[in-house]
């Protein structure tokens, strides 16, 4: 059963959710859409855990790399306030970062995944080290770029959060959590946006439910258990057909999923600050943040950033093959292109996540779309659900715009 509100003009979005919800197993999802600054879809359905508890209005779900879009927005807000500049070296605010040839890496370079700091394995001994914020930041400080910065681009799957999150702390003089609260949660009155879920909010969490594996530790027991097994090596060879550099892919993504049992449903991970991968959100909160960006920086009378900063967010920083991923991402400053089912969106930007979640905006259409889920594994950029939803939402928005234009024309023809 689906609950919530849908404007009749966007009824097709509800049909997408109904089709995508699991029919014979546990799992749920929520979708929220804003158009022209107004919330037109706010729906949810399914279950939030194996016990069958229903997905509720306030359910939050870990959203993997969808988190990066929120982290990036925080840095844009600080820059928009004049606290830093995109072309400043990171070391200007974070002197310890200047080690091992990183002294000239700029904020722009880092936000567009051109810093060459994507390899997790060289910086931490085990995956659970990422739960220690200070230790992970020291790893970033001591890291050696995998290539000359600005000469290539490669997706910083895990390290983006500590790189940008650490920079946010250095620029603001506040903890990352405090910046999130001060600059996004409180101004927009978001009902679910956490990086490091407080214990008081754990009851709201949707547990991750992987396909066919009834285990919290599904990355270990499910998708690519270890790259030392024959089947995993076969999958790596298969991926190499599509991924420019399968070795780099392994260095970025596989290490945290090996035998030290990185558990995404554990209380320890829920409470940790990982601004690249463990944001816990409602779709409503994600859509509202992006609604502001779709409307020149303002929603519900609250200005997040200037129109000029939104224009900078839209600008593509690099094209061509990514060193880590298998498709050109057209990286913006902290966001990537929006994937749809055969419908290119020139100025849209956002971020999708590993489990199938995603959130984005299109300033051309004044449209924002967000989905949170607790089922699926997919790829580092999610699976087919988000592109399908995105396409349907765009078609609905275009239909509304076309009807409004036609109605206006007819009224002008018959006015007296």
SS3 42: strand
Q: How many helices (H) and strands (E) does the chain have?
A: 14, 12
Q: How many Å apart are CA 304 and CA 237, to the nearest integer?
A: 45
**Does the CA dihedral 299-302-307-310 come out positive or negative?**
negative
Q: SS3 breakdown of the chain: % helix, strand, coil, rounded to 5?
A: 40, 15, 45
Q: How many Å apart are CA 61 and CA 304, to the nearest integer?
A: 24
Residue 215 annotated to the active site: no
Task: Name the phi and psi angles at 28, rounded to 5.
Answer: -150, 180
| Contacts by residues 237-245 (CB-CB < 8 Å, ≥ 24 positions apart) | 239/326, 242/326, 243/324, 243/325, 243/326, 244/321, 244/322, 244/323, 244/324, 244/325, 244/326, 245/154, 245/323, 245/324
Residue 230 in tokens: 């024959």
Closest to 108 measured CA to CA, from 133, 79, 129, 82 = 79
Instruction: Specify whether the CB–CB gap between 351 and 66 falls below 8 A.
Output: yes
Task: Name the phi and psi angles at 5, rounded to 5.
Answer: -125, 140
Given the residues 29, 63, 65, 357, select the one marked as catalytic. 65
Give me the residues paired with residue 38 across strands. 35
Residues recognised as catalytic: 65
């Amino acid at each position: 059963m689906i609950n919530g509100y849908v404007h009749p003009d966007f009824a097709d979005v509800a049909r997408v959710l109904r089709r995508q919800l699991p029919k014979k197993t546990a799992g749920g999802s929520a979708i929220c859409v804003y158009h022209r600054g107004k919330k037109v879809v706010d729906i949810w359905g399914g279950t939030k855990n194996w016990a069958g508890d229903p997905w509720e209005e306030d359910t939050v779900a870990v959203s993997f790399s969808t988190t990066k879009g929120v982290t990036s927005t925080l840095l844009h807000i600080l820059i928009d306030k004049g606290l830093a500049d995109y072309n400043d070296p990171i070391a200007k605010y974070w002197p310890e970062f200047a080690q091992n040839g990183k002294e000239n890496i700029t904020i722009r370079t880092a936000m567009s995944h051109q810093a060459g700091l994507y390899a997790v394995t060289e910086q931490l001994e085990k995956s659970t080290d990422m739960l220690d914020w200070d230790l992970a930041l020291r790893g970033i400080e001591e890291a050696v770029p995998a290539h000359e910065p600005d000469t290539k681009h490669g997706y910083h799957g895990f390290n983006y959060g500590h790189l940008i999150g650490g920079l946010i702390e250095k620029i603001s003089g506040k903890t990352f959590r405090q910046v999130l609260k001060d600059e996004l949660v409180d101004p927009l009155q978001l009902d679910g946006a956490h990086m490091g879920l407080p214990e008081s909010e754990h009851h709201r969490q949707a547990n991750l439910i992987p396909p066919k594996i009834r285990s919290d530790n599904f990355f270990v027991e499910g998708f690519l258990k270890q790259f030392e097994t024959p089947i995993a090596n076969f999958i790596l060879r298969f991926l190499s057909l599509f991924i420019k550099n399968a070795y780099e892919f392994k260095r970025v993504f596989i290490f945290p999923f090996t035998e030290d049992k990185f558990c995404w449903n554990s209380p320890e991970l829920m409470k940790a600050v990982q601004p690249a991968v463990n944001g816990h959100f409602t779709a409503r909160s994600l859509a509202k943040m992006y609604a502001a960006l779709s409307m020149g920086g303002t929603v519900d009378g609250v200005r997040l950033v200037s129109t000029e900063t939104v224009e900078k967010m839209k600008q593509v920083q690099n094209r061509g093959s990514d060193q880590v991923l298998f498709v050109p991402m057209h990286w913006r400053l902290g966001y990537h292109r929006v994937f749809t089912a055969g419908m290119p969106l020139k100025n849209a930007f956002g971020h999708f996540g590993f489990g199938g979640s995603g959130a984005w905006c299109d300033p051309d259409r004044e449209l924002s779309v967000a989905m949170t889920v607790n089922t699926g594994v997919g790829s580092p950029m999610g699976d087919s659900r988000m592109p399908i939803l995105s396409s349907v939402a765009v078609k609905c928005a275009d239909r509304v715009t076309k009807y409004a234009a036609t109605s206006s024309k007819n009224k002008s023809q018959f006015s007296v």
